[in-house]
Amino acid sequence: MTERLFIFDTTLRDGEQSPGASMTQEEKVRIARQLERLRVDVIEAGFPAASPGDFAAVQAVARAIKNSTVAALARATENDIKLAGEAIRSARSGRVHTFIATSPIHMEKKLRMQPAQVIEHAVKAVKWARGYSDDVEFSPEDAGRSEPDFLCRVLEAVINAGAKTLNIPDTVGYSMPHQFGNLIRQLRERIPNSDKVVFSVHCHNDLGLAVSNSLSAVLAGARQVECTINGLGERAGNASLEEIVMAVRTRQDVFPCDTRIDTTQIVPASKLVSGITGFPVQPNKAIVGANAFAHESGIHQDGVLKSRETYEIMRAEDVGWGANKLVLGKHSGRNAFKNRLTELGIELPSEEAVNSAFQRFKELADKKHEIFDEDLQALVTDEAVANVQEHYKLISMRVHSETGEKPNARIVISEDGVERRSDAEGSGPVDASFKAIENMVASGAELLLYSVNNITKGSDAQGEVTVRLTKGGRIVNGQGADTDIVVASAKAYISALNKLHSKLTRTHPQV
């Protein structure tokens, strides 16, 4: 019989550690609900000791989710574990995930601890964690560069202390697939009580090997994979959930296990995470890239028309392409609108918020006749951005662009309630708009990325714009959506400025 492969999604924790990918509590709950629809086994909701906001977000996810386990991360300290344990208290099924580094370089340079002290801390941490949940996971950080003999000692000790899952991270993405598979095999064979736990892996993608390393570990007996939607994560990211799940599902002749993932929810999850974080998906990305199922060459098109298996190993509809439903139009009423939001797992905080979102929906339906699920998600993200970070607000804009003329923009914003306006010229309408905004705000931030994606098909589709700004070592992503991409661009620029502003005021309250 096929064994179960558990999927542990860490989009909300490791994924959020991508520079600029921070999410609000409402956005985290929305993504968590989509992960639940995807049927992931464990949702790592955050790192409660990082900040009160992280604590509250983990708590909110723990309350909202019923069919997946909700995990919280904690260093191997009593305070971290207490916060993690309290944050998941109301979860129907909650897990504390604690970690400490075990590689020589991390123990010596970062922790400044002797190996024996690390074992002592690891054991204590697992025992503290068991005080909050029977479901405790332990990770020896930087296991990929740790000595196998030492790893065996630490892991044997934490199993005896009550850990139920041992997660082996390749924290810096250094391992090669055959090495990493061998490491998992060795640990399973050499640790006397290894049959009492589930072996898990958590691979980073610094050498582009996160998925290969994870799959090699699965072949060596790992039965949990930690991964993220779109491969989001620290630096080059984590193993991508969609690639792991589809590799295992498509090659059941190779893998002795399978996940319980509902693969038709993969593309909606990818679009939701990309829309909320502002990290666009590259077109040639496996499974979820716009070109993943597109055939360009005549030979391929001809083959697919004759028999799709000639060039397709998966069906686009099985991973959720084309699942975007035409849901509503301009004649749809408030109830239909509210019901569809509920079906998408979107809960607005008040009737007032529903009314305001409905008003925006009507405005959108006037411009764009067919409204899809993705449009509703973008509308809610836009609404949340507009409501939460309101230091700067776009009031109105007028942009002029004509052949042979220099484009110019007039923008009116409010800054802390005070209305301001400015005109600027630019090399294009977007450049002119950004310059007009900068004239007023003088942020001095550097533009790192500007990208536009169409949310749905057709020339009347909404454009979803991401603007990434950096200043003083901080990186933020702003998002905006509109059927007019110049307006979406101005909204995205202002959203990024608001995030920079709120980060600055958090660290320097006098700003």
- Smallest distance from ligand KIV to CB 211, Å: 15
> Between 14 and 375, whose beta carbon lies closer to Zn ion?
14
- The two tokens of residue 138 are 């332990």
279 binds, among Zn ion, ligand KIV, none (CB under 5 to 8 A by kind): none
130 binds, among ligand KIV, Zn ion, none (CB under 5 to 8 A by kind): none
**Which residues of this protein are in contact with Zn ion, per CB under 5 A?**
14
What is the C-alpha separation between 293 and 315, in angstroms, rounded?
A: 8
* Closer CB to Zn ion, 14 or 373, in the complex: 14
Which residues make Cβ contacts (< 8 Å) with residue 172, sequence separation at least 6?
A: 142, 144, 145, 204, 206
Cβ of residue 231: shortest distance to Zn ion, in angstroms?
12
**Choice between 235 and 260, CB closer to Zn ion:** 235
The residue to which tokens 């009031």 are assigned = 395
Smaller CB separation from ligand KIV, 97 or 271: 97
CB of 139 to ligand KIV, least distance (A): 4
> Which of Zn ion, ligand KIV, none sits in contact with 82, Cβ below 5 to 8 A by type?
none
**Residue 54 binding target from ligand KIV, Zn ion, none, CB below 5 to 8 Å by type:** none
Sheet with 446-454: strands ordered across: 446-454, 463-471, 474-482
CB nearer ligand KIV, residue 204 or residue 435: 204
Q: Are 307 and 295 in contact (CB under 8 A)?
A: no
Spatial separation of the C-alpha atoms in residues 207 and 155, rounded to whole Å: 27
Centroid of chain to Cα 416: 31
Q: Which residue is nearest to Zn ion (CB)?
A: 14
Residues in contact with 137: Cβ distance below 8 Å, sequence separation at least 6, in sequence order: 71, 95, 96, 97, 98, 163, 164, 165, 166, 167, 200
Q: In the complex, what is the shortest distance from the CB of residue 14 to Zn ion, in angstroms, rounded to a whole number? A: 4
Binding site for ligand KIV (CB under 6 A): 14, 99, 139, 141, 167, 169, 171, 202, 204
Interaction partner, residue 99 (ligand KIV, Zn ion, none; CB < 5-8 Å by kind): ligand KIV
The two three-digit tokens of residue 201, written as one number: 């892996």
Helix intervals (H) in 286-371: 298-306, 334-343, 351-367
Q: Which uninterrupted H or E stretch holds 179?
A: helix 177-190
State in angstroms the smallest separation of the CB of 237 from ligand KIV. 11
**Considering the complex, what minimum distance in angstroms separates the CB of residue 14 from ligand KIV?**
5
Instruction: Identify which of residues 47 and 358 has a Cβ nearer to ligand KIV in the complex.
Output: 47
Per-residue tokens: 423:
């005109």
